[in-house]
Structure 1
Amino acid sequence: MQQSAVPELAHTHTRPIHWVATATALAGVVAFSSVLQPDPATAAQASAPGPKPAPATTSAAPSTEGVDWPLECGPVKALVMRQASGDLDGDGRPETVAAVHCDAPMGTPPDGVYVLTRAAGASAPRVVATLVAPKDRLTVTALSVAADGTVHADYLGYSSADVPSCCPDVKDAARWQWKDDRFIRSTPAGSHDV
């Protein structure tokens, strides 16, 4: 029999206790490494190309208080009956849309629907557009501004000049959207008799 140059060592023979000791040491290393974590990465992530978000609205909508409305009310005051606000032209500043009529003691005074804006640095808002003129003899029953800047109004009107102003006989709606530097009106399908 030939002898080996290296004497037989006890640790070169694997026994079950060796495997248990190795598994325990490995579990300890894994557990300890989960406690020690590196600092979070601070590099900025590149943003994906795509559409830019709309500019944030940073100013308050114009107030209807103290506005000089383009109405001839004589000795009575102009009353704001309904209002809604939103960014109508996409410039990041909100506008206010208001339905206004004269405080008449009798009958149903017609509404005017006006758009208010306040220029940067201006102290008072001003009327920049008339969506519905009082001469149209309409009474606005609902007014809103959608997220896309579309103005929506529901209103009551008259089928002819012979219908008394106390009793509107037509119910309808209209929408306006800012396009090509002006408000474009569209009317949803069909008016309804009241």
Structure 2
Amino acid sequence: MQQTAVPELAHTHTRPIHWLATATAVAGVVALSSVLQPNSATAAQAAGPETKNAPVALAPPDPAGVDFPLECGPVKAVVVRKATGDLDGDGRPETVAVVHCDAPMGTPPDGVYVLTRNTATAAPRVVATLVDPKDSITVSDLTVRDGAVHADLLGYSSDAVPRCCPDVKDSAKWQWKNGAFVRSTPAGAHSV
């Protein structure tokens, strides 16, 4: 057997004192790091003179769970489209929801409702009906732009037209004026 040229070194064999020293050093680092923490991070800017009286930012109202003024009988009401934006200029977003009954067949008429809430903890509530389901209209597109609601509406020219196949298309725009939503028809609205 050949002997090694390097003598055995004392530090190559671990002893309980080595483990105790390592555990003490790790515990010291952990304790020190828990005491020396950086300041909490925040995504909000500090309030300056221009932001002190600004309204608190609210998330747009969620239409899930809202009791819409829609008679659906044994089926439930479903939200098929939604759009959000500040419609009345108060700095808080509203949600516009297109809702219809979850009918098993046919094309159920849509209702278009405006939802708002006053505080972050308040439940959303319906404040306006832009399209009543009794009008037998279906909404094919919905957006909120420049504080106004824009929608493409599909309807029927007569009662003889099958409810599956709307034959009239109109564009509509609602804007908040003098405490109410006023409807106008944008230029370029047409019938099919």
TM-score by length of 1: 0.68
Equivalence for 1:77: 76
Q: Distance in 1 between the 2:129 and 2:155 partners?
A: 17
Deviation at 1:188, TM superposition (A): 1.9
CA contact (8 A) 2:80 2:98 kept: yes
- The residue identity in structure 2 corresponding to 1:160 is S
1:120 aligns with 2:119: yes
After superposition, the Cα gap between the structure-2 partners of 1:162 and 1:90, relative to the gap in structure 1 and judged at 3 Å, is: same
Does the aligned pair in 1 maintain the 2:58–2:119 contact within 8 Å?
no
C-alpha displacement of 1:185: 0.3
Q: Quote how far apart the aligned CAs of 1:192 are.
A: 3.2
Give 3-state SS (helix, strand or coil) of 2:134's partner: helix
Q: Label 1:177 to 1:193 Cα distance change in 2 as closer, same or farther (>3 A).
A: closer
Contact 2:154 2:166 in 1 (8 A): yes
Which residue number corresponds to residue 180 of structure 2? 182
User: Greater Rg, structure 1 or structure 2?
Assistant: 1
Match of 2:92 in 1: 93
- C-alpha displacement of 1:190: 5.4
Look up the SS of the partner of 1:64 in the other structure: coil
Query: Over residues 22-52 of structure 1, what are the superposed CA-to-partner deviations in whole Å (9 max), with x where a residue is unaligned?
Result: xxxxxxxxxxxxxxxxxxxxxxxxxxxxxxx
| SS state at 1:192 partner | coil
Distance 2:156 2:187 in 1: 18
Report the equivalent of 1:166.
164
CA contact (8 A) 1:170 1:191 kept: no
Which of 152, 155, 165 is the matching residue for 1:154?
152
Deviation at 1:141, TM superposition (A): 0.6
- May I ask how many residue pairs the two structures share in their alignment? 140
Q: CA deviation at 1:121?
A: 5.7
Cα deviation 1:123-165 (Å, max 9, x = unaligned) = 210000000000111110110101x211000121111122121
| Contact residue 117 and residue 127 of structure 1 kept, 8 A | yes
Q: Structure 2: any 5+ residue segments left out of the alignment?
A: 1-53
Task: Name the Cα RMSD after superposition.
Answer: 1.8
User: Could you list the per-position Cα deviations for residues 95-139 of structure 1 after superposition, in whole angstroms to 9, with x for gaps in the alignment?
Assistant: 000110000011100000000001126521000000000011111
Gaps of 5+ in 1: 1-54
User: Residue 135 of structure 1: SS of its match in structure 2?
Assistant: helix
Deviation at 1:191, TM superposition (A): 4.5
Structure 2 counterpart SS, 1:91: coil
**TM-score (ref. length: structure 2):** 0.69
Q: Report Cα offsets for 1:48-93 as digits up to 9, x if no partner.
A: xxxxxxx677110000110001000011011111100000000011
